[in-house]
Structure 1
């Protein structure tokens, strides 16, 4: 994928990354220094470098922090196979695995500093939502079957009649 070309097309860019170009640029202001700091002192395998890396290799396929962030966001948004991501960006599947692991850790640090990580605890979610002016929120969830009461009369009272279980 060509980051520079897609950046000029707002709709495909949004479809691939879930971010508008200005939102991407805003996130990049924190991601780029965080990535460069990590890369300076660590390898893609997570090991501490013997010598500080002062700059990226000139022949890097994913050259620049903006391309790396674009790579990671398209990977996360589309949940593609690593082999597909590798073919899209002209790298190996092993490199996709290495990069996605390291870049995701850096992105999570950036999002944590911005206070944008998802809330995983119900109590903390209630605290965050309490001051919100709108008391009703949209919830995107998965429909699941509900265990029914074994007693026939109780089951008849509980049954809404809306859906019948599929075989």
Structure 2
């Protein structure tokens, strides 16, 4: 199973998987973890199922690797030791957390052309008005 602990020892591999240096990854990890706690309403006194990916660093590695390489969900599921449906769920959940994290840090790119370009129209066949 892929883990950040293994990858951080190999700077070239980390860069190839995430486009980040270890120091940049760790800096983003602090914000990502805070957003995760806020987003999930983490309360350790409540029960519940254990997370699919236990380590916060591995969660960030998972979503950054997915967004950089776009492997098939079956492939990323195998690499991170889960099923394809779990990979799908994890991709959607972590994408929301990463978007909120980047938005709070002022690094989020526009989510759709309509936000940055008012002339964008879906009814016009996704062409510029």
Equivalence for 1:111 = 102
Give the deviation of 1:37 after TM superposition: 2.4
Which of 60, 70, 92 does residue 101 from structure 1 map onto? 92
Equivalence for 1:69 = 60
Taking the TM superposition and a 5 Å limit, the aligned residue runs for 1:7-156 are 7-40=8-41, 52-54=43-45, 60-119=51-110, 120=113, 121=116
In 2, Cα distance between equivalents of 1:118 and 1:14: 20
Runs of 4 or more off by more than 3 Å in structure 1? 52-61
The number of equivalent residue pairs is 113
User: Equivalent residue of 1:15, what SS?
Assistant: helix
In 2, Cα distance between equivalents of 1:98 and 1:31: 18
Give the deviation of 1:114 after TM superposition: 1.1
In 2, Cα distance between equivalents of 1:35 and 1:77: 20
Give the deviation of 1:56 after TM superposition: 9.1
For structure 1, which runs of at least 5 residues remain unmatched after alignment?
42-51, 124-167
Contact residue 59 and residue 94 of structure 2 kept, 8 A: yes
Give the structure, 1 or 2, with the largest relative contact order (CA under 8 Å, sep 6 or more).
2
Report the structure number with the largest CA radius of gyration: 1
Distance 1:20 1:56, change over 3 A: farther
C-alpha RMSD over aligned residues: 2.4
In 2, Cα distance between equivalents of 1:93 and 1:69: 18
For structure 2, which runs of at least 5 residues remain unmatched after alignment?
119-129
Q: Taking structure 1 as the reference length, what is the TM-score of the superposition?
A: 0.60
